[in-house]
Amino acid sequence: MNLSVKDAARMLSVSEKTIYRWIKQDIVPVYKVHESYRFNRAELLDWATARRRGVAGDAFNEPETHHQPLPSVSEALETGGVFYRVEGKTREEVLADAVSHLRVPEDIDLDHLTQMLITREQLTPTAIGSGIAIPHPRSPGLLNLLRPTLTLCFLEKPVDFHALDGQAVSILFLVIAPNLRSHLHLLSRLSFVLHNQTFRDRLRNEESREKIFASLSDAESLIKTD
C-alpha cells in the first residue's frame, strides 16, 4: 500500500516541500521506485507517531464495504481496559506484565506476543515522548483476533523506553489489532487524541477510568470524519 509524496503530505498535514526536505535530510522512511518516491503507510505512521507529529483525522479512512466497522478509540479501550500499577524494572519486564493483563483469546500465546512486542521495540522504540509509549506488533494480523483492542497501562515506576526526548515512560497504550487496516486506524486516532491537553493531563495524573474515558470521548469527538 504505497503513498506518493502528495499522499504523505496530506496524511501528515504538511506541504510537499516539507516532505521533500525530510527526504533530502534522510529523516523520513521512503523508497525510490522508478525515479519516484513512495511511502509505506504503516511505516510512515509509526515514524509520525514516534515524533509526536499530528496526522490528518481522516488519514486512514477506508470504504467499509465487506469490512466490519472500525471502532473508536473509546470502544477499543473499553475492550482492552485500563490497568494501574503495572510492574517491571526494565522495558522487557514491563511489557511482559502488561501483556499478562491483555483481554485476548485464550489460545493466544502470551509469551510469543511479548516477544513480538520486545522485538518491535528493539527495531524501533515506540516511545513518543512525554512519558508515553505505544507498543504494538510490527506485523498486525498474525494473531487470531476478531476485533482490535487498546489497553492502557500505568506503570508502577517509570522505565526507559529509549524515547527521543530522553524521558522515562510511565504510560503505555498497547495496540493489538487483527489486521493492518484496524491497526492503522487506531494508531491514527490515538495520535490525534494524544494532542488534546485535557486528555494528556488526565493520563499524567493517572485519574480514574471514568474521567479518562470522558476526556477521551471529548477529544475523539473533534476528529473530522467527512
Least confident of 19-33, 90-104, 140-154, 198-212: 140-154
For residue 222, pLDDT over 60 is answered with yes
Find the mean pLDDT for residues 166-186.
91
Q: What structural domains does the chain harbor? A: 2-50 (1.10.1660.10), 73-220 (3.40.930.10)
The mean-pLDDT minimum among 35-49, 92-106, 143-157, 176-190 falls in: 35-49
**Whole-number average pLDDT of the chain:** 87
Q: Angle at CA 70, nearest 5°, toward 68 and 76?
A: 120
| The pLDDT of residue 141 | 64
Whether the predicted pLDDT of 8 surpasses 50? yes
- Predicted confidence (pLDDT) per residue in 117-175, tens digit: 998 898 889 999 999 999 998 777 667 778 899 999 999 999 999 998 999 999 999 99
The set of catalytic residues is 136
What counts of helices (H) and strands (E) characterise the chain? 9, 8
What are the backbone angles phi and psi of residue 131, rounded to the nearest 5°? 80, 15
Is beta strand 127-129 parallel, antiparallel or unpaired with respect to 82-86? unpaired
C-alpha cell recorded at residue 141 = 494480523
pLDDT of residue 1: 47
Residues 11-35 have a mean pLDDT of 88
